[in-house]
């Protein structure tokens, strides 16, 4: 039979992705003082057994004040890296590539965990032990009314940021990660530099698109210099702001060209988030695969590999996106929470490798059960 493209390998530099399905970074808000723990091991470990080619951690802050919430993991010290080591080891031992998303929340730091309000930390959070800290951004512009007022970053702050991203990348390499992703989406620090809605600077880091891109490009250059040549580098972006006068898809195409020139291999194409709930993700129910057109426009316009994400619900839908040239990789997020074995179940439904590549502890039994399952279906 012809193997669906979804289950064919993809080579990026010296790293081979066994199929085209990855785990999107999903914050769990369950760390303590930035340290990953057993929750993260079980959560990511289950996904590693699920047949994904690659498992990416949630956003790992490169500075302590760069966490979104008190529950975020960090990679700003060697001790934080060591807390991640058993998780990375387990992911790799179970057949998936391991990646870490490197991030700084910027003006969206010091937030409540989603189930505690998903807004800025305030007096009500003090009783829970979650006090706010000072936040910074390209300009002294809060996310929206009632949010913390950020301090405008200095050029020295921006230089330090690039150094800290590079240091975190070195720690990820020492852990054995095969890829890392720079988070420049969803209104977090690097994306807030990109958007004219949040970047009001008049120096070299503001003004036109190129100026507003400078901070991200400097971070990408620093990370690429610290990251092994043979390992791929991803960058997640908000392809559009979704607000009038904001960042547009044409900006993303030009940015992708600049990032490609610096050695970035994949653009991970999300959207929105610059000013709280974006029009891109609010209002009427979203259609399946609603962000795939962004990935296609960037892939075609910049000549760079893209990762598609956003309400991709089943294998045939993902296969159609790949066949149409919309993306090179498909990232599964919340659907993976619903079904941690999503790739294996989709392969089964699409007639690929029934149980041959499942973990032996599962596949041995399921393969022997299959004849009875098929007989029951034929009788029904």
Backbone φ, ψ for residue 242 (5° rounding): 85, 10
Residues 235-286 have pLDDT tens digits of 999 999 999 999 999 999 999 999 999 999 999 999 999 986 544 555 678 9
CATH of the domain at 29: 3.20.20.70
What is the arithmetic mean of pLDDT over 194-208? 98
Which string of DSSP letters, residue by residue, matches 74-126?
E-SSHHHHHHHHHHHHHHHHTT-EEEEEEE--GGG-SBPPGGGTSSB--HHHH
- 152, 200 contact by CB (below 8 A): no
Summarize the confidence of residues 179-200 as an average pLDDT.
98
Range of the domain at 262: 5-349
User: Looking at the predicted structure, is the pLDDT value of residue 49 above 60?
Assistant: yes
The DSSP result for 277-307, as a single string, is S-TTSSSSPPPTTTTHHHHHHHHHHHT-EEE
The pLDDT of residue 14 is above 60: yes
At residue 278, the pLDDT reads 43
Residue 367 within any structural domain of the chain = no
Pair 135, 127: CB distance under 8 Å? no
- 306-333 tens-digit pLDDT: 999 999 999 999 999 999 999 999 999 9
Q: 123 falls in which pLDDT band (50, 70, 90)?
A: confident
Beta bridge partners of 101: 59, 181
User: Helices (DSSP H) in 113-240: which residue ranges?
Assistant: 123-126, 155-174, 189-194, 209-226
What pLDDT was estimated at residue 281? 52
Task: Tell whether 246 is covered by a domain.
Answer: yes
Q: Check residue 301 and give its pLDDT.
A: 98
Which residues on neighbouring strands pair with residue 183, listed in sequence order?
Answer: 236
> What would the mean pLDDT of 72-85 be, rounded to a whole number?
98
Does a structural domain hold residue 354?
Answer: no
Structure-block tokens of residue 11? 């080579």
The three-class DSSP label of residue 35 is strand
Residue 211 lies in a domain: yes
The per-residue pLDDT for 196 is 98
Residue 79 to residues 34, 83, 102, 242, Cα–Cα distance (Å): 10, 7, 16, 39
In a domain, 91, yes or no: yes
Q: Does any domain span residue 366?
A: no
Residue 378 lies in a domain: no
Question: pTM here?
Answer: 0.96
Q: Which whole number is the average pLDDT over 208-236? A: 98
Residue 375 forms part of a structural domain:
no
Would you please indicate which residues are annotated as catalytic (active-site) residues? 188
Burial degree of 138 (CB within 10 A; 0-12, 13-18, 19+): buried
pLDDT at 46 over 50: yes
The alpha carbon of 45 is separated from its chain's Cα centroid by a whole number of angstroms, namely: 17
Give pLDDT, residue 283: 61
Give yes or no for a contact between 69 and 113, defined as CB atoms under 8 angstroms apart. Answer: yes
User: Distance (Å, rounded) from C-alpha 324 to C-alpha 320?
Assistant: 6
Indicate the number of domains in the chain: 1
Average of per-residue pLDDT across 182-200: 98
Q: With CA atoms as reference, report the closest residue to 274 among 309, 241, 248.
A: 241
Alpha-carbon dihedral sign for residues 251, 299, 26, 281: positive
Using CA atoms, how far apart are residues 239 and 109, in angstroms rounded to an integer? Answer: 21
pLDDT at 158 exceeding the cut of 60: yes
Query: In the predicted model, what is the mean pLDDT of the chain?
Result: 96
Residue-wise DSSP of 227-246:
S-TTS-EEEEEES---STTS
């Amino acid at each position: 039979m012809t193997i669906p493209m979804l289950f064919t390998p993809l080579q990026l530099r010296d790293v081979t992705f066994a199929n085209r399905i990855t785990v999107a970074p999903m914050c769990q808000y369950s760390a303590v003082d930035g340290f990953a723990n057993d929750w993260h091991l079980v959560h990511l470990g289950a996904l590693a057994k699920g047949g994904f080619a690659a498992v990416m951690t949630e956003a790992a802050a490169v500075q302590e004040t760069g966490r979104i919430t008190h529950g975020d993991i960090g990679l700003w010290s060697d001790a934080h890296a060591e807390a991640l080591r058993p998780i990375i080891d387990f992911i790799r031992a179970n057949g998936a590539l391991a990646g870490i998303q490197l991030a700084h929340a910027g003006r969206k730091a010091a937030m409540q965990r989603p189930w505690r309000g998903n807004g800025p930390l305030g007096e009500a959070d003090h009783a829970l032990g979650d006090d706010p800290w000072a936040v910074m951004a390209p300009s002294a512009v809060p996310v929206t009314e009632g949010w913390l007022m950020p301090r405008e970053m200095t050029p020295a702050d921006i230089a330090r940021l690039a150094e800290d991203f590079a240091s975190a990348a070195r720690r990820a390499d020492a852990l054995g990660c095969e890829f890392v992703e720079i988070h420049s989406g969803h209104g977090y620090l690097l994306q807030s530099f990109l958007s004219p809605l949040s970047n009001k600077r008049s120096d070299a880091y503001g003004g036109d698109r190129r100026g507003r891109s400078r901070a991200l490009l400097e971070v990408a250059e620093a990370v690429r210099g610290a990251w092994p040549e043979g390992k791929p580098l991803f960058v997640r972006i908000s392809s559009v702001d979704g607000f009038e006068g904001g960042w547009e898809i044409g900006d993303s195409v030009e940015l992708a060209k600049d990032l490609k020139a610096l050695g970035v291999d994949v653009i991970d194409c999300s959207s929105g988030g610059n000013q709280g709930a974006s029009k891109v993700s609010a209002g009427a129910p979203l259609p399946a695969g609603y962000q795939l057109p962004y990935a296609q426009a960037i892939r075609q316009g910049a000549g760079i590999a893209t990762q598609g994400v956003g309400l991709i619900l089943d294998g045939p839908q993902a296969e159609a996106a790949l066949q149409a040239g919309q993306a090179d990789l498909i990232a599964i997020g919340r659907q993976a929470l619903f079904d941690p074995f999503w790739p294996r179940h989709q392969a089964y439904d699409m007639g690929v490798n029934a149980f041959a590549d499942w973990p032996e502890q599962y596949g041995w039994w399921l393969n022997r059960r299959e004849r009875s399952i098929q007989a029951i279906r034929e009788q029904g």
